[in-house]
Structure 1
Amino acid sequence: MKIAFVINQTHKEDVNFTTTLLALKALQRGHEVLYIGLADFYYGTDPLLGAHARHVLPSQHSPDTATLIQVLRNTPKKLYPLSDIDVLWLRFDPVLDMINRPWAAPAGLQFAALAKKQGIRVINNPETLTKASNKLYLENFDQSVQPQTIVTRNHLDVLQFFQEQNEKIILKPVKGSGGKNVFLINKDNIQNLKQTVEAIARDGYVIAQEYLPEAAFGDIRFFLLNGKPIEVNGKYAAVHRVQQENEIRSNLHQGASVQEALIDDRILQMTQKVSAQLVEDGMYFVGLDIVGNKIMEINVFSPGALYHAEMIHQADFSAAIIQDIERGPTS
């Protein structure tokens, strides 16, 4: 197969990225890999729909992700018809381009939708990704697994919510990733509430969520494939992310560490409450962020930390994912 990964930009890819790991595993299993940046699509004639892509072959022998990154960056772009591609895998983060290239993510989704209409397998579903381009996507799911939340740009709404939540809440942007602009508001810094809301609201709407005491111990990134947990040799593809001291964010980009996650029946039951909707939406590969008995976020664009899950468990989760793709879309 030819598997094309749609990313933000090649120079922003890293050896520990989930995308790099999946691409390496695809190559090791004999598949060809293409990398397409959001600025690299083409529409016209011959081909009707294409992309200026970097094409890596299994014969180029990439033994590890570091080598693959070097091979990738040394490979020149060529125009390829998307009709030659078997799978177009959307693995970009819209937030990375929100300021300097606000056109990039919407354009990528539009081209992906055109590819899907031509019969190319696109994951995750570009039409649903358009609707899931921010954290409001979680509101489409079972209320019992969601933290209490309001969405607003008015600081007085947030103040009322703060008082209802025993004077302790989390504020974050509706459209964000990597733990950027996430704040804990309590009675010690309530005087900064208005300014904090205004700062976040410069880029759009603000989410105020209840503070869960379990958040002090980090969160769990839990991966689903076609609505089901990824399990290899009795180990689930998941990591427990533990934030640094005096830090509320459990994102790896913010310095969090990872350890083995305890996956119990409570967590598995939570995933069952969202799996049917994810499958219906065409969300093939998803990362859930779980705190206590709540799902804080559903990551549908480029969920990361699979590399860390493999290192902790010494389990080949990426091979299980590529094998499932090999079986086809009805698997």
Structure 2
Amino acid sequence: MKIAFIINDHKTEKPNYTTPALGYAAYKRGHEVYFIGVGELAYASRGHLSVRCKSVKDKKFNSQETYFKAVQNQEFSTITSEDLEVLFLRNNPADEINERDWAQNAAFIFGEIAMRNGVIVLNHPKSLAGAVNKMYFQHFPEILRPKTIVTRDHLEIKEFFKEQKQKMILKPLQGSGGTNVFMMDKKNEHNLTQTIDAICRDGFVIAQEYLTEATKGDTRLFLMNGEPLQVNGKYAMMQRVNASGDIRSNIHAGGKPQPVKITDQIMKLADIVRPKLVQDGMFLVGIDIVGDKLMEINVFSPGGLNVIGEMYEEDFATPVIESIEKKVYYKSMYTDYLLNSKLATL
């Protein structure tokens, strides 16, 4: 199998991230693996995707870290969509905000070109285009979500603040990793106007009900093909505990990962989100849960799979690659009969 992963940039991708873990799992299974930065995408005159990429071949490595460092040290080579069977879109558009705005939409735009050339593209690029901000989350059943408004109107936000008994979360519509997330209450109400202004500079504001269970952090669960990912009875999930005095649970924002057991409540949440994820061709996603509510659905580059693997001493990356291998097999059997959106979650 020839598989390529799109990342934000070779310089910023760290060897211990989830995408290198997936690439290393594919490499160990004998596949040709390529890594492509968003800025290395191109459209060739013959109507196909053309990219500069990095790859290693015919070498043995003891860990994903040594593997990916070797990848990063390689010179660029060029491949086209005619050379690929799978393109896995693993870049995070939110990381490009105010830095490389042109890069936010690039991966799924070029992904659609690759898809037309017969490449399996994961997650489904047309659905990713509609999920580039947190508004995608609002398309899931209301029973799953905290009370939320999305607006740029100060008065609406302040009225919502009163309705929530002067305690709520403010965050930008676009963004990830806990950036510009604020908990507003009576103590800092005097900063409410300035906080709204600061978030508004980058677009719309999400005002959200504060859940008291958030003091315990949140739970990240990986779903693959719409189902909770598990190996040997252990689920790809972790509790992300807030750093002291911080409402953000993201690992990059200082949250600490801890083991956590699956519950009937979490399984019910996963079951409710499954139909839409499958319909949208969302192959691998991370859902973040607080109490009995879904806080976020990360469909672009959910991280932490390697952390979870180390925590439970299980390999969660290999089943992901095995599932992709099956998709390549199904496509070879059905040629043009299976749509990418369907194939993505088979």
TM-score bucket of the superposed structures, by smaller chain: over 0.9
Equivalent positions of 1:45-124 (< 5 A) are 45=45, 48-57=48-57, 59-124=58-123
| Mapping of residues 272-287 of structure 1, within 5 Å | 272-287=271-286
Cα distance between partner residues in 2 of 1:30 and 1:140: 39
Question: Take 2:113 and 2:221, find their aligned partners in 1: how far apart are those partners?
Answer: 31
Identity rate, percent: 44
The equivalences for 1:174-193 within 5 A come to 174-193=173-192
CA distance in 2, matches of 1:281, 1:325: 17
The offset of 1:105, in angstroms, is: 2.3
Whether the 8 Å contact between 1:17 and 1:305 is mirrored in structure 2 is yes
Unmatched runs of 5 consecutive residues or more in structure 1: none
Q: Letter of the 1:154 partner, please give it.
A: D
Q: Does the 8 Å contact 1:155/1:193 carry over to 2?
A: no
1:209-240 deviation digits (Å, cap 9, x = unpaired): 00000000000000000100001111100010
Q: Name the SS for the 1:56 alignment partner.
A: coil
Tell me if 1:289 matches 2:261.
Answer: no
CA contact (8 A) 2:221 2:236 kept: yes
- 2:25 pairs with 1:25: yes
Partner of 1:271: 270
The secondary structure found in structure 2 opposite 1:319 is helix
> Shift of the alpha carbon at 1:107?
2.1
Deviation above 3 Å: which 4+ runs of structure 1? 45-48
1:13/1:69 contact within 8 Å kept: no
User: Which amino acid is 1:19 matched to?
Assistant: T
- In the aligned structure 2, how far is the partner of 1:228 from the partner of 1:184? 32
Q: SS where residue 69 of structure 1 aligns?
A: helix
Measured in 2, the distance between the counterparts of 1:271 and 1:21 equals 24
Deviation, 1:25, is 0.6
Which residue is 2:131 aligned to? Answer: 132
Please say which of residues 194-203 and 153-162 is displaced more in the overlay. 153-162
Aligned residue in 2 for 1:223: 222
- The alignment status of 1:315 with 2:326, answered yes or no, reads no
Q: Give the AA of the match of 2:123.
A: N
C-alpha separation between the residues in 1 aligned to 2:55 and 2:148? 44
Moved more, 219-228 or 152-161: 152-161
Q: Is the 2:223–2:286 Cα contact (8 Å) retained in structure 1?
A: yes
The CA deviation string for residues 194-216 of structure 1, in whole angstroms up to 9 with x for no partner, is 10011011000000100000000
TM-score normalised per structure 2: 0.93
SS in 2 for 1:12: coil
**Quick check: 1:24–1:62 contact (8 Å CA) kept in 2?**
no
Corresponding letter in the other structure for 2:27: L
Asked if the contact 1:5/1:88 (under 8 Å) is kept, the reply is: yes
Is the CA contact 1:37–1:53 (under 8 Å) kept in the aligned structure 2? yes
CA deviation vs aligned residue, 1:160-214 (integer Å, no higher than 9, x gap): 1011111110000000111000000001111111100110110000001000000
Q: Which residue is equivalent to 1:250? A: 249
- Are the counterparts in 2 of residues 146 and 295 from structure 1 also a CA contact under 8 Å? yes
Q: Where does residue 34 of structure 2 map in the other structure?
A: 34
CA drift at 1:108: 2.0
Shift of 1:62: 2.4
Q: Secondary structure at the match of 1:185?
A: strand
| Separation (CA, whole Å) in 1 of partners of 2:310 and 2:38 | 30
Aligned-partner Cα distance in 2 for 1:161–1:45: 52
- Do the aligned partners of 1:218 and 1:250 also contact (CA within 8 Å) in 2? yes
Q: Determine helix, strand or coil for the equivalent of 1:290.
A: strand
The Cα shift of 1:113 comes to 0.7
Equivalent position amino acid for 2:277 in 1: L
Deviations 1:19-55 (A, max 9, x none): 0111111111111110111111121236832101112
Q: C-alpha distance in 1, partners of 2:182/2:300?
A: 23
Is residue 27–residue 33 contact of structure 2 (8 Å, CA) maintained in 1? yes
- Give the distance between the partners of 1:53 and 1:12, measured in 2 at CA: 15
State the alpha-carbon separation in 2 of the partners of residues 169 and 87 from structure 1.
42
Which residue pairs with 2:261 in the alignment?
262
Q: Which residue identity lines up with residue 36 of structure 1 in the other structure?
A: I
TM-score (norm 1): 0.97
Q: 1:66: how far off?
A: 1.6
The answer to whether the 8 Å contact 1:36/1:53 transfers is: yes
Separation of aligned partners in 1, 2:295 and 2:90: 21
User: What is the deviation of 1:56?
Assistant: 2.3
**Gapped runs of 5+ residues in structure 2?**
328-342
1:12 aligned partner: 12
